[in-house]
Every structure is written in structure tokens, then in C-alpha cells.
Amino acid sequence: MLQAAQIRAARALLVWRQEDLAEAAKVGLATIVRIEQGQGMVQGNYSTIIKIQRASSEKEYSLPLIRTGNWRETGEEAPARLI
């Protein structure tokens, strides 16, 4: 799962301010601030997290893909499962 520190690190690698990420992801600045202030796994709306991932992937650095039960909605490859 995506960690708040990964978002902060990706933004730093892109030399983006929080405002830049918010604009690129089409989410509010307060949302970025709240997510980045978190510790550990990102808490928030799944669609918001996907927007943040996609905004970074359009540049040189991509955040790791999130693998959850919603993979059908995003068109991602199905996650591997142990049986």
C-alpha cells in the first residue's frame, strides 16, 4: 500500500510544492496537506489517491501502484492471490 512518506518523497523528487501536486492531481491543497501529514499507510478516498498516483506518473517519477479490491475500476491488472 502507498505510504504518506512515498508521496512526500515523490513530490520532492519532482521538485513540486504541495500546491503543484494538488493542481496536477486536481484535488484540494488541504487534501494533499492532510495526506502528507499522516504516518504510515495513506488514509483517504481511493479515487483521490489514484489521482495523486496518476499525477506523479505523468512526470519522471511514478508512485507505486495500489493493489486493492477495486482493481476492476481502475483497469489495473488483477492482484496476485494465494490460495
Q: What local confidence, expressed as pLDDT, does residue 8 receive?
A: 92
**At CB < 8 A and 24+ separation, what contacts does 69-78 make?**
70/46, 74/50
Sketch the domain layout of the chain as residue ranges: 4-69
Q: What local confidence, expressed as pLDDT, does residue 56 receive?
A: 81
Instruction: Tell me the whole-structure pTM to 2 decimals.
Output: 0.70
Which of these CATH numbers, 1.10.260, 3.90.320, 1.10.3470, 1.20.1730, describes 4-69?
Answer: 1.10.260
Tens digits of pLDDT across the chain (83 residues): 788 999 998 888 888 999 999 999 999 999 999 999 999 888 888 899 999 988 887 765 555 544 444 444 555 554 443 33
Q: What local confidence, expressed as pLDDT, does residue 80 receive?
A: 41
